[in-house]
Amino acid sequence: MHVFAVLALVVMTACSLATPSASFGGSEADVAGKWTGSWVGTGLFNSVRQENLTLDLAQSGEAGYGRLVIDNAVAAESVPWQVRQQGLAGIRVFAEISGGKIKLMHEQDKRIFTADLNLVGDHQMIGTVRGSKVRLILTREHSGPAPQPQQAAQVVPPAPVEPTPAAVTEPEPTVVAMAPTPDQQESTETPKAEVPAQPQRPRQDEFVAAPELKTVRFDFDKALLRPDAVDALTSNAAWLKENVDTLVLIEGNCDEKGTSEYNLALGDRRAKAAMDYLEANGIAKDRMTTVSYGKERPACSENTEECMKQNRRADFKVKSR
Model confidence pLDDT, tens digit, residues 162-188: 555 544 444 555 545 455 555 544 444
pLDDT of residue 180: 53
Judge residue 189's burial from the number of C-beta atoms within 10 Å of its C-beta, 0-12 exposed, 13-18 middle, 19 or more buried: exposed
Q: DSSP character for 27?
A: P
Residue 55 has pLDDT above 80, yes or no: yes
Q: Where are the domains of the chain?
A: 18-140, 204-320
Query: Which of helix, strand or coil describes residue 229?
Result: helix
Residue 65 has pLDDT above 60, yes or no: yes
Name the average pLDDT for the chain.
76
pLDDT of residue 18: 41
Is the pTM for the entire model greater than 0.95?
no
Q: DSSP character for 235?
A: H
Q: How far apart are CA 294 and CA 312, in angstroms?
A: 9
Q: Which of 15-29, 118-132, 269-283, 297-311 has the lowest mean pLDDT?
A: 15-29
Name the region of 293 (left: φ>0; alpha: ψ -120 to 50; beta: rest).
Answer: alpha
Of 201 and 240, the structure prediction assigns the larger pLDDT to 240
Cβ partners under 8 Å of residue 118, min gap 6: 100, 101, 102, 125, 126, 127, 280, 281
Q: DSSP character for 99?
A: T
Do 269 and 314 form a contact (C-beta atoms < 8 A)? no
Per DSSP, helices labelled H in 245-284 are: 260-280
Question: CATH assignment of 18-140, given 3.40.50.300, 2.40.128.120, 2.60.40.1120, 2.30.30.90?
Answer: 2.40.128.120
Of 113 and 298, the structure prediction assigns the larger pLDDT to 298
pLDDT band for position 150 (cuts 50, 70, 90): low
- The CATH class given to the 204-320 domain equals alpha beta
Name the region of 253 (left: φ>0; alpha: ψ -120 to 50; beta: rest).
Answer: beta
Which of 84, 83, 96 is closest to 21 using CA atoms? 96
Per DSSP, helices labelled H in 66-217 are: 81-84, 182-188
Residue 301 has pLDDT above 80, yes or no: yes
Q: Which of 52-61, 103-112, 169-178 has the lowest mean pLDDT?
A: 169-178
Q: Which of 123-137, 154-168, 299-313 has the lowest mean pLDDT?
A: 154-168
Identical topology for domains 18-140 and 204-320:
no
295-298-299 Cα angle (round to 5): 155
Do 148 and 48 form a contact (C-beta atoms < 8 A)? no
